[in-house]
Amino acid sequence: MTRFSTRAIQAATRVPHVNQIASAVPIYQAAAFSATDAAELGDVLTGAVHGYAYSRIDNPTTAALAAAVAELEGAESGLAFATGMAAIHAAIVSVVRAGQTIVVTNAVYGTTRDLLVRVLGGLGIAAEFVDPTDPAAVEAAIARTKAPALYVETVSNPTIVVSDIAALAAAAHRHGALVLVDNTFASPYACRPLELGADLAMHSATKYLSGHSDVLAGVAVGSRERIDAMRPILVDVGGALAPLAAFLVLRGLPTLAIRMERHTETAIDLAAWLQGQEGVARVLYPGLPGDPSHAVARRQLSVYGGMLAFELSGGRRAGQAFLDAMRLAERTASLGSVRTIISHPPSTTHRQLDEAALAAAGIAAGLLRCSVGLEDVEDLREDLELGLAAAVEAGQAK
């Protein structure tokens, strides 16, 4: 008979046999998986047979998440990552090499820009920023730089510009460039970039896919060939997603459509209301008929989504006063949650940019980005009224 410590280890790690199908994907909270023999372990580690050996390489729960998002996006394959930025990093470096240039739309998430300019720029990868609303200029930049890839956001962060993915993909493919799309702001419910010609789509699953601001995760989807090119980067850099985090995102996916419909309904109401308010210079929301992105959004999006932005005429001081007056909306830098979140991009998500870079990206000093939550619209309108009153007062102060 084995001794106590040995028996304790064996008893506590014995996996139960279950014939029935669980109503939720189980959390395989294991760092490693034991093989039947040495030959099987070698085959699993080399990829000769499908299986699991070490959760940094693959895990059943994270694989289930990747497969689910790939199915929703209409993709052949997917990979789950620890964060959206890990997915974006792997997508870019799987395509672009040192000495090459990647063409990028001018308004992108601040950390994505920092990754491109500071991190990858230091490794010999150049980035050229272009206006996504001018496909001819985008194509010219790809042709001139011989870029292997074009990087766009379905809906730009934070200026809420909707890129015409079909037109941009056609332009890029004419010159042999792949198209990488950050689809976080839209979600697969609103837009599926691969169906429009993109080669890879990435998500910060922290946002709409999970929907509850309680997990960090990222996902990339595409053809099997493109995802296989990303897999070694995930494994070797160590951007693996934890099984519990994968479970939390999987929990959010079944309600994605319902949430996106409600986010959109409320956002349309608030955007229309904001247009007539004192102190608001302009409102950026593709669901508004007069918005520059409205025509593209009508063709490309099934719903307009929950992200809107508005520019205060009082500038940076007005923006900060607005945030300080909020009682309901959260003051933070995330988005896609059940809670409404309002941020001031020049001092948060795009704090890395100086005034000239902000202007080049179309980010005004008084711009506020609003991720509309699931609260009652009347309560949100009352909260915005508090912010606007404080912003107007701040703008009038000497």
Residue that is written with structure tokens 């895990």 in the block: 59
Percent of the chain with pLDDT over 90: 89
From 113, 192, 207, 369, the catalytic residue: 207
- 9 domain-assigned: no
State whether 233 and 361 are in the same domain: no
State whether 268 and 244 are in the same domain: no
Domain count, the chain: 2
| Catalytic (active site) residue 207 | yes
Domain boundary among 255, 275, 303: 255
Start-to-end CA span in the chain (Å): 84
Range with lowest mean pLDDT among 33-42, 58-67, 90-99, 278-287: 33-42
Residues counted in the chain? 398
Question: Per-residue pLDDT tens for 304-326?
Answer: 999 999 999 998 899 999 999 99
Question: Per-residue pLDDT tens for 235-257?
Answer: 999 999 999 999 999 999 999 99
Domain boundary among 201, 226, 255: 255
> Does pTM surpass 0.85?
yes
pLDDT, residue 350, reads: 67
| Catalytic (active site) residue 224 | no
Q: How far is residue 269 CA from its own chain's centroid?
A: 24
State whether 198 and 265 are in the same domain: no
Residue 308 lies in domain: 256-396
Question: By the 8 A CB rule, do 123 and 106 touch?
Answer: no
Question: Per-residue pLDDT tens for 39-65?
Answer: 999 999 988 999 999 999 999 999 999
Question: By the 8 A CB rule, do 371 and 341 touch?
Answer: yes
From 52, 54, 56, 131, the catalytic residue: 56
State whether 232 and 93 are in the same domain: yes
From 109, 189, 208, 285, the catalytic residue: 109
Tokens of 345: 């991009």
State whether 231 and 275 are in the same domain: no
Is the pLDDT reported for residue 126 higher than 60?
yes
State whether 198 and 276 are in the same domain: no
pLDDT, residue 354, reads: 67
State whether 44 and 78 are in the same domain: yes
Split at pLDDT 50, 70, 90, the class of 396 is confident
CATH number at 301 reads: 3.90.1150.10
| Catalytic (active site) residue 182 | yes
Long-range contacts (CB closer than 8 Å, 24 or more residues apart) made by 233-239: 233/89, 233/90, 233/93, 233/94, 234/79, 234/81, 234/86, 234/90, 235/56, 235/57, 237/86, 237/89, 237/90, 238/56, 239/81, 239/82, 239/83, 239/86, 239/87, 239/89, 239/90
From 164, 182, 199, 383, the catalytic residue: 182
pLDDT, residue 398, reads: 46
pLDDT, residue 260, reads: 98
pLDDT, residue 366, reads: 87
Is the pLDDT reported for residue 148 higher than 80?
yes
